[in-house]
Amino acid sequence: MPHQPATMAHRSSSGVESALEDSVKPLNVLIVGGGIGGLTAAIALRRQGHHVEVFEQSELLQETGAAIHVAPNANGVLRRLGLDVSEIGATECASSTFFAPNGKELFSLAIKGSGANLWAYPWNLVHRQHLHTALKELAVGEEGKGKPVRLHLSSRLASVNAAAATIELEDGRVVRGDVIVGADGVHAKSRKFIPGGDLKPMGSGSSAFRFLIAVEDLKADPRTAEIATQPDRMVGWMDADRRMVMYPCVNNTVMNFVLIHPSQESQSEDSVQATWQDTGNKSRMLEIYKTWAPDVLAIMEKADASKLKVWELLDMQPMPCYNFEKLAIIGDAAHPFLPHLGQGGAQAIEDAVAIAAVLPLGTAPSEVPDRLKLYNECRYERAQGIQLDSRVLGWTKEERAAKGIPELSPGVYNTRSFGHDAWDHATTMLQKHLQARDPESRFRSPTAFGSVPGPRRPLGLPASHPAILALQSKTPESMTTWTVRCLSTRTHLERFLAPGFSFTSPGSRANISFSIVSFDGIAWLGGGGYNAIAVLINGIEYKKGDGSKVYGSFMTALFEDFADPIITGRDELGHPKIFCDIDVKRLNDGCAAKLSWRGTEFATFEVADLKAEPKSNGENALPLAKEHATAPPQPSLPPPEEGIFTYRYIPAVGQPGKADAEYPVLSPFPTPKPGQRHPDVLATKTAHLEFTNPGWKSLPTLNHIAEALADIPILQVEGARMTTAVGIVDNGAGVQRIE
């Protein structure tokens, strides 16, 4: 979402901040499952400012016995959450070498060398227990942003009411929240509460043994010493239907092993419902790989039989989606991964931060279903794509050929996985989503930063937002206008009119007005203000193509001393705004103002002897607010003016003298709101103005304007009026292209 601009007045900033804080309430988030995905989601949602509870079915809440890849796509978002895995013993996957079962080298990759030029974060390898412990501490610890997560152990899910955002536990407890996140793993109960989601995982045809060996033990054996000498290296052996991969963790002191093979060869070791912690049989493992090279078997022999684990590699048909009502699922609950790409944990982490990104603080409970649909849009296609890649990498060459899958290098798969930041992606998707739903969103160049704040969008918020109302209450918006009305000649002033505009009266007398406006307490400027001086030719009409006419005053120029209103007025309203320095001094009975550019003056105005005016004189003198006549127009008077005319002109890029767009614009006078107090009016006959042309050396960018103003024949200063109004009406409301 667009960043909030810095406030311009200290006296009002605290009111805005307080109102912003009061207007946003945290969501109550219930997370089912305290694994890597669930804890990452808990941390990310906690940091968003929400109240988070995690319900974990186990008692110890402890991951054991293996290492895990923290690839660049996961590493970046973990660091965003405050966790650098290099500080908990992670090693970097700097290179990889793969061999045939007989020991012949197949290929070798210098991952760190190539990745350093591609990926913002390293590819790390970390002990799963160390990662899990670090995530748990970040979630429940007192330090860090947000309220600590409440962790409930021995809390097994029974059912979910996705519409009501409630969960029922097997012990009968019912917990109500605003959001439910199902992170309860491959055998998840939560996913069946998504329509069409009662899917069961199925065997992929492969299983895997896993174990850890101390690097010192490998180095101590001449048969295995060579393979363990190079730190930060992943090594693999690949056969047609089986493979072994090893990589270091715990600061290169422990080596992690995964041995993938056909499930039927270790079937008796698999439980009815395969789990991560099933015990394997060492003798059977050695039998499965008995034809491999002796030094590889020597590694396997070092496995501790009492700690050897085996699990069936599970897959699942795609879920129809990852969300329903106020329930969303993440990680293996949504998309179980095979291990061939090392992306299972990374994709759970991506899910976790994506769901937090679409639920920033201030999200209303009623918006949750819509935001979870957005989460699904952020994650479904990517997760399914990476899941397919992990399957393909597990197929044999013949299986890939039979399915029409081209042979791709590992680098291609890594590029698809590594070059993504789930937080950045989801945040961008949320920004686009909110802008598409907001009819008041406004865009100006540069568009890369999204919709922008402005007069019709204070602080990037709706005008009715509590923060805006608080600011307006604390520092009321006000404007004071001094309008000097002069008599000039039609024949001279006609040169300033754009095509299609003409004077209403055929006479040679014509009026030109100069309005000095001082704004203060402007909400969209954080309570600040600025000055403006408008040059208006009165008594103008525009004849449309159908013959009808519109009446108003033509604005030839609008000088302002602040860049922001100049940009918004030019882009959104088509006003001919120009920057210069404007000095306005309020006097007891008038004002003194001057226009200058870097110290060079080119216009001065003085108004004095202002006295209360009992009633309106019927003249349309103000450039930014209509003064209603007290009597109907008479034949000698011009028709009532409807607003301010301008002529929008946008030059074509690279085509001097040509326009991309040019057309007449009408900014109607704002209609007073019911009960709105009419501005206080003072009037005088005492006013003076003077224009000079200092020349192009002193006024290089405004010389042509200063020269034209100085040439205007001022036959008479007819008088001046001052109006003071509190509560500024949006002068951009109703602005329209005439035709």
Among 157-171, 256-270, 555-569, 576-590, the minimum mean pLDDT is found in 256-270
Does 627 score more than 60 pLDDT?
no
* Helix (H), strand (E), coil (C) string for 126-184: EEHHHHHHHHHHHHHCCCCCCCCCEEECCCCEEEEECCCCEEEECCCCEEECCEEEECC
For all residues of the chain together, what is the average pLDDT? Answer: 89
Does 2 score more than 70 pLDDT?
no
- Percent over 70 (pLDDT), the chain: 89
Q: Are 19 and 470 in contact (CB under 8 A)?
A: yes
Q: Are 627 and 616 in contact (CB under 8 A)?
A: yes
Dist CA 675 CA 694 (whole Å): 48
Region class of 362: left (phi > 0), else alpha (psi between -120 and 50), else beta: left
Dist CA 529 CA 9 (whole Å): 9
Largest CA distance in the chain: 114
Per-residue pLDDT at 619 = 42
218-240 pLDDT, tens per residue?
999 999 999 999 999 999 999 98
Mean pLDDT value across residues 420-448: 90
Per-residue pLDDT at 437 = 86
513-538 pLDDT, tens per residue?
999 999 998 888 888 999 999 999 99
Residue among 372, 375, 386, 377 nearest 335 (CA): 386
Among 471-475, 481-485, 510-514, 678-682, the minimum mean pLDDT is found in 471-475
Per-residue pLDDT at 401 = 82
Does 57 score more than 70 pLDDT?
yes
Which class would CATH give 202-315?
alpha beta
| Residue boundaries of the structural domains of the chain | 19-89+119-199+317-436, 202-315, 479-489+509-542+559-633+674-737
Mean pLDDT value across residues 605-616: 83
Dist CA 83 CA 43 (whole Å): 10
Per-residue pLDDT at 19 = 55
Dist CA 26 CA 16 (whole Å): 19
Per-residue pLDDT at 726 = 82
Dist CA 673 CA 681 (whole Å): 18
Q: What is the CATH number that goes with domain 19-89+119-199+317-436?
A: 3.50.50.60
131-174 pLDDT, tens per residue?
999 999 999 999 999 999 999 999 999 999 999 999 999 999 99
What one-letter code names the amino acid at 344? Answer: G
Higher-scoring residue by pLDDT: 596, 413? 596
Task: Name the 3-class secondary structure at 557.
Answer: strand
18-36 pLDDT, tens per residue?
555 656 799 999 999 999 9
Q: Are 61 and 38 in contact (CB under 8 A)?
A: no
Q: At residue 467, what are phi and psi to the nearest 5 degrees?
A: -65, -40
95-112 pLDDT, tens per residue?
999 999 999 999 988 888
Going by pLDDT thresholds of 50, 70 and 90, the confidence category of residue 449 is confident
Per-residue pLDDT at 621 = 39
DSSP string spanning 43-54?
HHHHHTT-EEEE
CATH 2.40.400.10 for domain 479-489+509-542+559-633+674-737, yes or no, is yes
Per-residue pLDDT at 384 = 96
Does 128 score more than 80 pLDDT?
yes
Whole-model pTM?
0.82
